[in-house]
Amino acid sequence: MNPQKEILASRLFFIVTNRNMSENRALIVENLNPKIIKLQYAVRGPLVIRAGAIKKELEKGAKKPFKRVILANVGDAQAMYQRPLTFIRQVVSCITYPKLLKTDMYPPDVKKRAQDILDNCSGNSVGAYTMSLGIEMIRRHVAEYIECRDGHKARWQDISLTAGATTGIKTCLELFCNKVDGKPSGIMLPVPQYPLYSATVAEYGLGHIRYYLDEGNNWALEMSELERAYEEGSKTHCVRAIVVINPGNPTGQVLKRSNIEDIIKFAHKKRLFIFADEVYQANVYDKDSKFFSFKKVLSELGPPYNTVELVSFMSISKGYTGECGLRGGWMELCNMDPGVQGHLYKTLSAMLCPATVGQAAVDCVARTPISGEPSYELWLKEKNAVLNSLKDRAEMIVKAFNKMEGFKCNVVQGAMYAFPRIELPAKAIEAAKAEKKAPDVFYAFKLLEETGICVIPGTGFGQCPGSYHFRTTILPQPKILQEMLDIFQSFHKKFTKEYQ
């Protein structure tokens, strides 16, 4: 059975068999918050659910034309067998089992770091709650990291530790859930964009104001397009904020400094709040590209542009650490109204605190080992090995797709993804319509069922009408990545021949 039909059939069965019970329930689909029903999150959607089911089928001995499922759908480095950094895991080991501090198993700088963290925990235990915004010592270390990165002062009081970047992003977006001058609030989002934003905007009932990145110019951000999107969005919404993802997800581009300056000036002119998603700031591979933080550029532009409201986000899930499961990150607030900041912090306090172990990992990223310390050489070796391998894989994936007929893939300057464009035969588009699927979704399901490769269609990220893409991570280890690309090429030839 077709996977989509299988899902629909199971839902129908559930509805029919539970109809009588539903009559006595307070919460049913018909009276569920319609914003929740509208919410879509592609990177964890039906394709991924089906990939999980196929994996279980293989484990039970099912016969498939492939031996394993390759999950290229999500930026989870350690799920793709990236080894965790020794320094972080040693610190985490010591804080979760302090008896290790009394042994000679770990270097003295690891034990000193772990003891410092424990000394700043209530009851000297990571099992205790921390302050709502995170451990003050770690917030101070994050401020020092930002100062070192940008060369400009950072106030630790403006930094909040978060459970990955996601918690901070969602909480800050929630601040805009209000009408202004009778219009609902609108948020400018790039297309393509990371589905967290479109999902959250839908969940909160905010206006989704789309501005398109220029694929023909390596996903550059054109100011004329920002102007167009703002003017169009302003007809129905009060446009109040703009989201910028740099380096880009899913597109892999890195903004030039001049581009960032233009965005800040645009935000000042339109009185927009800037969301700077900078979680991939360590992932820059292109020799002609360099990461500049919005905080740095804003500070150096001077008056009046250095008064633009800005929140920037960082995460330990990406970069060279790949500690997705530890759920650590931070956000820095710049120029936020003190009263609003107070209410934001009040909201965060209602969530108690980020996980303490995640905070400890943040400390390891914000204050890495320094030259002369026992852990430094190994930490540097492991860090460089990860980033150099990612650079090689970024080049490998672009070259492979650009050799395939019907594909075009821009250079992956940074981040962890490629977003190739694919030309689909007219008969394939017709077949997709017959199954009531978007053509790229149809292609992605065929790819999964016939090869075990799971990618996410461009529909989930947004794309120019009439164009078709998919996002794949560059995270599979080199041998598996090469295997994936070889299988991909064979599949695409077969698919094209079938629907030509």
Domain membership of residue 379 (yes or no) is: no
State how many domains the chain has: 3
With respect to residue 12, please indicate whether it lies within any of the assigned structural domains: yes
- Same structural domain for residues 398 and 335? no
CATH classification of the domain holding 327? 3.40.640.10
One-letter amino acid at 491 equals: F
**d(C-alpha 275, C-alpha 171), whole Å:** 12
Mean pLDDT by 10 residues, the chain (500 residues): 54 53 66 64 69 86 85 83 93 95 94 96 90 92 96 95 91 89 92 88 91 91 94 95 94 93 96 96 93 96 94 94 91 91 86 89 95 96 95 93 91 92 90 88 89 88 86 90 90 87
Same domain, 187 and 289: yes
- The CA distance from 102 to 130, in Å, is 25
**Is the Cβ–Cβ distance between 401 and 420 less than 8 Å?**
yes
Say how far apart CA 161 and CA 242 lie, in whole Å.
22
- The last residue of one of the domains, among 299, 331, 366, is 366
Per-residue pLDDT, 367: 95
| Residue 258 forms part of a structural domain | yes
Q: Is residue 117 part of a domain?
A: no
**Residue 487 lies inside a defined structural domain of this protein:** yes
- Same domain for 197 and 288, yes or no, is yes
Tokens of 167: 């918690």
For residues 214 and 234, membership in a common domain is answered with yes
**Structure tokens, 206:** 């905010």
Asked if residue 399 and residue 467 are part of one domain, the reply reads: yes
In a domain, residue 48? The reply is yes
Rounded Cα distance, 69 and 51, in Å: 7
Please count the residues of the chain: 500
Pull the structure tokens for residue 11: 């839902």
**What does 307-325 look like in DSSP terms, one character per residue?**
GS-EEEEEESSSTTT--GG
Residues 42, 22, single domain; the answer is no
Whether residues 300 and 400 fall in one domain: no
The pLDDT assigned to 33 comes to: 65
User: Domain residues for 467?
Assistant: 34-80+384-498
Q: Report d(CA 249, CA 300) in Å as an integer.
A: 26
333 and 190 fall within a common domain:
yes
The answer to whether 335 touches 299, Cβ cutoff 8 Å, is no
**What is the value of pTM for the model shown?**
0.86
Give yes or no: residues 393 and 324 share one domain: no
Packing angle between helix 108-119 and helix 86-96, nearest 10 degrees?
50
Same domain as 412, residue 274: no
Burial zone of 271 (CB within 10 Å; 0-12 exposed, 13-18 middle, 19+ buried): exposed
Boundary (domain end) residue, out of 310, 336, 366: 366
| CATH classification at residue 459 | 3.90.1150.10
Do 332 and 398 fall into the same domain?
no
162: helix, strand or coil: strand
**Domain presence at residue 375:** no
**Residues 60 and 142 both lie in one domain:** no
Does residue 65 form part of some domain?
Answer: yes
